[in-house]
Amino acid sequence: MIKFCNSCGAPASYRIPEGDSLPRAVCDACGHIQYENPKIVVGCVPIRGERILLCKRAIEPRYGLWTLPAGFMENAETAAEGAMREALEEANARVEIEELYTVFSVPHISQVHMMFRAKLLNDDFSAGTESLAVKLVTAEEIPWDELAFTVVRRTLQHYLEDRARGTFVPRFGDLRSPTR
């Protein structure tokens, strides 16, 4: 919850600005509005031959579980640039980003996840600071019971299905909270 104006430092309170339809954090002094919007998570499925690069998380949430390299998109970059950057940060991995492959809205945490297919360019990769380990796995070696996120599981499932039938089709969907 926002308590103060980040423009002038005076207290802010939640109310619906004129012409708007949702409560926003509005400065009681200068009127500045702080909008809060969904964040984008960008990542990729790095492929090397038949194998897929996975990272074991060294941070919360889901410490110790396996994931695809992904993270928050930054200002001034494209989604593909962000996905490439995350592969480098989390796995010291150089990837060539191919097509956008899965897009999932995750409304209960106000996120949209965008995962690309990607080519891992060489075997020179290693755990970045946010990873305990990184490894290339075959389809049979994917640790399905130790995956960190539903987005990762769904993306890997789609990837393997599409690879088996020889054609890749982008997928879009929503992931609701399991408790909903």
CB of 141 to its own copies, least distance (A): 30
Question: What is the token pair recorded at 35?
Answer: 């909008």
Contact residues: its own copies, CB under 8 A: 2-12, 19, 21-22, 25, 34-40, 72-81, 89, 99-100, 103, 105, 107-108, 110, 112, 114, 129, 170, 172, 174
Residue of 138, 159, 83 lying closest to 115 (CA atoms): 83
Residue nearer to its own copies on the CB measure, 11 or 143: 11
Q: Tell me the residue ranges of DSSP E strands in the chain.
A: 12-15, 24-27, 33-34, 39-48, 51-57, 66-67, 70-72, 95-106, 111-120, 131-137, 171-174
CB of 14 to its own copies, least distance (A): 12
CB of 101 to its own copies, least distance (A): 10
Residue nearer to its own copies on the CB measure, 142 or 154: 154
Residue nearer to its own copies on the CB measure, 57 or 142: 57
% helix, strand, coil for the chain, step of 5: 20, 40, 40
CB of 81 to its own copies, least distance (A): 7
Q: Are 168 and 101 in contact (CB under 8 A)?
A: yes
